[in-house]
Structure 1
Amino acid sequence: MQDVQNQKSFQYLYEVETLAQDILTDKETKLDLSNSRNKFREAFRALQGVEDRRTWMQMGSVFVERPTEECKRILLNEIANADKDIEGLDKSIKSKLHKLRDLEHEPRLEGFTLNPISAAEAKALHKAFGAV
């Protein structure tokens, strides 16, 4: 009887710790992606002031010379991919956190599933309440 109870306790602890570690790993990955996205933004910003037709760009461990407009497109694409990956990690963290709270028999966090309003919704609110 004691062995069954110990086994259930170990299983419960294993599930909780595994899920908590997954959440921490996702948060660390999100931070790394955010840092990469910021570096891409810095590079794109630096290219906006360049009037040269061709620009050197590092791709992996190799430097290549490409047209500046193509480099800008590549950077914008990388920024968009990073945004999409960060958004996916946000959703993953939220769902894992809900599952962890359920495993710990804790109530769900209030307001954790809120989404920001869009620019169009903000404009409509400003118009409705008379703000400019």
Structure 2
Amino acid sequence: MRTFKLIQGSLLAGRVTRRSTQLVSIHCFMDITLLVAASLVAVLAGLTLHWQHRWTVAFDRLESTRIQAYRLTESTAVMEQHWLRNTTQPVNLVPTRAINLVHIRHPASAEQPSPKVSISLFLSHLVSQRLRSGY
């Protein structure tokens, strides 16, 4: 019980107030300063947790975007390999080198006048042609 009386007696500011007003004002100032510091620590901890969560969400989105881009590249490669396996080279192609190629100059446009074709003749020619399937 004696400890309780000691603590209780020290918390009573009546005697201290009468003796030293400056000590009481410094004590009140320190109490307010400690409360402000504790509240600032709590606010900063909350902001830190908030921005850490935002960073984690953004990083997860970045990872999912990278995974999707990788899967798209992989599936495109698989499709290209399948298409290349099913295509064949024409029989009339012959392997050659660059030195065996012959360069033919483009004819001058002034020597050959372009023939004038009527639109109706061109459309009738288009309609009469058979459409080829595929690309």
For the aligned pair, the TM-score class normalised by the smaller chain equals 0.3 to 0.5
TM-score (norm 2): 0.34
Larger radius of gyration: 2
TM-score (norm 1): 0.35
Greater RCO, 1 or 2 (C-alpha within 8 Å, sep 6+): 1
